[in-house]
Amino acid sequence: MFEGSFVALITPFKDGRVDEAAFQQFVEWQITEGTDGLVPCGTTGESPTLDHDEHKRVVDLCVEVNNGRVPIIAGTGSNSTSEAVDLTRHAKDAGADAALVVTPYYNKPTQEGLYRHYKAIHDEAGLPVIIYNIPGRSVVDMSVETMARLAKLPNIVGVKDATCDLARPIVTRLAIDSEFCQLSGEDGTVVPYLAAGGHGCISVTANIAPKMCADMHRAWRQREVDTVLALQDKLMPVHAALFCETSPGPVKYAASLLGKCTAETRLPICEISATSKERVKDALAEAGLLN
């Protein structure tokens, strides 16, 4: 079971290339700050604009610096099933603990197509799979019925749920079972998601506030509700600011303010506006994340 605060890692760039040193230093910082798990090469890591060699290299770098300390769920999704199988096989060989596989974007597969896509990855790659259900970006929404059907396969072990539907974790738990791992994909709703039966969050905000995010999840597990609510309220303006423009533009700018990497992104994600920069800076300062 994966639980707690998993960080959807940014991929630092410098002069158009992956900044390997900055990435490994960033991963080390995440671990020392208490992050419960690492997710390289997700959407926040700009996986759509990493070529295959870069994608695999980033997973390798993450596994290397982690050295078995916390779980790694490597992003391996694609709208091409064969490509997703290849990336998932690599993640397994590299030493990742699971794969995060997004629903195929643009193709708009049917529910049967979704089932066959994930079954092929399950059958051919041999690594535990977390379904990433994000209708806002992929256009397709996996139904609870399809997810329950997939959950009968031994290596389909959970979901990253970015539907913003807070009834979904309850319905999913009733349709499958409590062992099926449910991770929120929305920082702003993580506390009610946990209350509805979720186990953790794959977080954008954890890139910037790893200790606060991890502390909130630990407080939840210890049923320290006052601490949970205080941290939720402190983090909420940060969550909002990090999505004032298309992610990961704002979070990479925030990381640059902390001196962790450049704010560089790859097109079609571009530099955020001056107004957005001020909003991000103010939110970090208000939360006590900037000196």
pLDDT, one tens digit per residue, over 240-280 is 999 999 999 999 999 999 999 999 999 999 999 999 999 99
Q: Where are the domains of the chain?
A: 4-222
Dihedral of the alpha carbons of 206, 208, 211, 212, in degrees to the nearest 10? -80
Question: What positions carry a catalytic annotation?
Answer: 132, 160
Contacts of 291 (CB under 8 A, 6+ apart): none
pLDDT of 291 higher than 80: no
By the 8 A CB rule, do 248 and 269 touch? yes
CA distance 191 to 46: 26
pLDDT, one tens digit per residue, over 131-160 is 999 999 899 999 999 999 999 999 999 999
By the 8 A CB rule, do 105 and 73 touch? no
Could you give phi then psi for residue 177, rounded to 5 degrees? -170, 175
CA distance 183 to 71: 14
Residues in the chain: 291
pLDDT, one tens digit per residue, over 43-76 is 999 999 999 999 999 999 999 999 999 999 999 9
Q: Which residue has the tokens 């640059």?
A: 256
Give residue 178's pLDDT.
82
Q: Are strands 129-133 and 13-14 parallel, antiparallel or unpaired?
A: unpaired
Contacts of 132 (CB under 8 A, 6+ apart): 42, 75, 77, 100, 101, 102, 103, 159, 160, 162, 185
Specify the pTM: 0.97
Among the CATH numbers 3.30.565.10, 3.40.50.10440, 3.20.20.70, 3.40.50.1100, which is that of 4-222?
Answer: 3.20.20.70
